[in-house]
């Protein structure tokens, strides 16, 4: 994807996301510089339709509706924030590093000049905007995973692919064969959704766990996405990391931020057994005990496991293994 196209898609997404109402095609064309540069209405229409389809292929729900609350004769487009956001997906400890992804796109969360001008044009056209929703956009349109381009191309051309994939609980990757339907992003990470050929059912794969090359099989257009497939709803359904237990942890103040973010409750430690101060007590849901033990260990000396005993035993055993 070229830099110009990436910026154009990003600008279009921002315009549709910050608007509190549906934005007509004419206003979209006037607001986005590259659309204004098209020599004819037909050229703009073709470019806009392709861009809209690509955003939808990314799992971004571009809605179509009336731009006027009282008259149904002027239609437009928007992206509703509540439909755009995904519920939290469980992340591994090493993924804390992706917090800085947004900064690589916009320094200090600032907007490119073309985007700022586009927002001003929307305001001038009388369209109410909400810049606060831009926090939702920043981490989503960054793709550092090596497999992104190949999977994106396969998604667009409907080409079956194979790749090696490492599950969270596995030490080594295993081969997978997929008919990709679309791609979604959440919390700075990309996921591909499609039909797992070997397992005969829809599956969700995180791109950061794809190992090696993505290999194409067969000709483009060899399969079709089932009619009515809702990528984001399917992603929620396929999300397997559902909480099966809750850990009670002591967390050092101003530390262990990933665990704090996931905590269902947190407050000052009511009973510091060793007399230390500056610690909090948190309840953190977890889906997999072994995987969660790794997250606890990633916080090093900033966390202590109080409950459950099984989690504490796993953490202690791993620490003893390191010392040995």
Query: What is the CATH classification number for the domain harbouring 201?
Result: 2.30.30
pLDDT at residue 274, rounded to an integer? 59
pLDDT band at 20 (very low <50, low <70, confident <90, very high): confident
64 and 133 both lie in a single domain: yes
Q: What is the pLDDT averaged over residues 99-117?
A: 42
Instruction: Judge whether 299 lies within some domain.
Output: yes
For residues 137 and 296, the model is more confident at 296
Q: Is the pLDDT of residue 91 over 90?
A: no
pLDDT at residue 229, rounded to an integer? 83
Instruction: Judge whether 142 lies within some domain.
Output: no
282 and 313 both lie in a single domain: yes
Choose one of 78, 105, 137: the last residue of a domain. Answer: 137
Query: Domain range for residue 34?
Result: 3-137
Q: Is the pLDDT of residue 86 over 60?
A: no
Instruction: Judge whether 143 lies within some domain.
Output: no
249 and 314 both lie in a single domain: yes
pLDDT at residue 129, rounded to an integer? 56
For residues 126 and 178, the model is more confident at 178
Residue 265, classed as helix, strand or coil, is: strand
95 and 210 both lie in a single domain: no
CA R_g for the chain: 23
**Both structure tokens of 252:** 């050092």
> What rounded mean pLDDT belongs to the chain?
76
Q: What is the pLDDT averaged over residues 159-178?
A: 87
Say which DSSP state 187 is in: T
Q: Is the pLDDT of residue 110 over 90?
A: no
9 and 132 both lie in a single domain: yes
113 and 13 both lie in a single domain: yes
pLDDT at residue 93, rounded to an integer? 43
- With a pLDDT cut of 70, the percent of the chain lying above it is 69
pLDDT at residue 104, rounded to an integer? 35
**What pLDDT digit, counting tens, does each position of 65-77 carry?**
875 555 555 688 8
pLDDT at residue 275, rounded to an integer? 58
Only one residue has tokens 């591909």, namely: 192
Instruction: Judge whether 262 lies within some domain.
Output: yes
163 and 222 both lie in a single domain: yes
> Domain count of the chain?
3
pLDDT at residue 105, rounded to an integer? 37
45 and 8 both lie in a single domain: yes
For residues 143 and 35, the model is more confident at 35
pLDDT band at 160 (very low <50, low <70, confident <90, very high): very high
7 and 132 both lie in a single domain: yes
Nearest residue to 179 via CA among 227, 216, 233: 216
Please provide the DSSP assignment of 83-106 as one string.
Answer: HHPPPP----GGGGGGGGHHHHHS
For residues 121 and 13, the model is more confident at 13
**What pLDDT digit, counting tens, does each position of 306-316 carry?**
999 998 888 88
Choose one of 137, 158, 182: the last residue of a domain. Answer: 137
80 and 187 both lie in a single domain: no
Please provide the DSSP assignment of 11-35 as one string.
Answer: HHHHHHHHBSS-EEHHHHHHHSHHH
Say which DSSP state 129 is in: B
Instruction: Measure the CA–CA gap between 202 and 292, rounded to whole angstroms.
Output: 26
Say which DSSP state 109 is in: G
169 and 84 both lie in a single domain: no
Choose one of 102, 137, 172: the last residue of a domain. Answer: 137
Q: Is the pLDDT of residue 196 over 90?
A: yes
Edge-first strand listing for the sheet containing 62-66: 23-24, 75-79, 62-66
165 and 262 both lie in a single domain: no
pLDDT at residue 121, rounded to an integer? 58
Q: What is the pLDDT averaged over residues 103-117?
A: 44
**What pLDDT digit, counting tens, does each position of 212-267 carry?**
999 999 899 999 989 888 877 777 666 655 556 889 998 988 888 878 877 888 88
pLDDT at residue 138, rounded to an integer? 45
């Amino acid at each position: 994807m070229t830099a110009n196209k990436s910026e154009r898609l990003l600008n279009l997404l921002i315009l549709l996301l910050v608007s509190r109402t549906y934005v007509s095609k004419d206003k979209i064309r006037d607001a986005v510089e590259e659309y204004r540069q098209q020599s004819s209405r037909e050229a703009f229409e073709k470019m806009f339709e392709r861009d809209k389809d690509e955003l939808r292929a990314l799992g971004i729900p571009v809605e179509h509706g009336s731009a006027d609350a009282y008259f149904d004769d002027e239609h437009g487009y928007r992206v509703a924030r509540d439909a755009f956001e995904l519920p939290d997906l469980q992340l591994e400890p090493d993924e804390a590093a992706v917090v800085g992804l947004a900064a690589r796109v916009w320094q200090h969360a600032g907007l490119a000049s073309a985007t700022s001008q586009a927002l001003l044009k929307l305001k001038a056209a009388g369209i109410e905007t909400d810049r606060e929703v831009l926090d939702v956009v920043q981490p989503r349109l960054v793709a550092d995973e090596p497999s992104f381009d190949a999977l994106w191309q396969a998604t667009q051309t409907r080409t079956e692919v194979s790749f090696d994939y490492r599950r969270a609980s596995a030490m080594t990757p295993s081969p997978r064969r997929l008919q990709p339907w679309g791609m979604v992003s959440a919390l700075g990470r990309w996921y591909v959704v499609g039909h797992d050929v070997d397992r005969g059912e829809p599956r969700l794969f995180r791109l950061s766990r794809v190992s090696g090359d993505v290999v194409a099989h067969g000709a483009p257009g060899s399969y079709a996405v089932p009619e009515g497939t809702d990528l984001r709803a399917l992603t929620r359904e396929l999300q397997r990391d559902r909480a099966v237990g809750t850990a009670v942890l002591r967390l050092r103040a101003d530390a262990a931020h990933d665990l704090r973010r996931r905590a269902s409750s947190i407050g000052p430690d009511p009973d510091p057994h060793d007399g230390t101060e500056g610690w909090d007590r948190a309840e953190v849901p977890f889906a997999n005990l072994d995987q969660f033990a790794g997250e606890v260990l990633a916080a090093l000396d900033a966390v202590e496991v109080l409950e459950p005993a099984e989690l504490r035993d796993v953490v202690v055993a791993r620490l003893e293994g390191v010392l040995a």
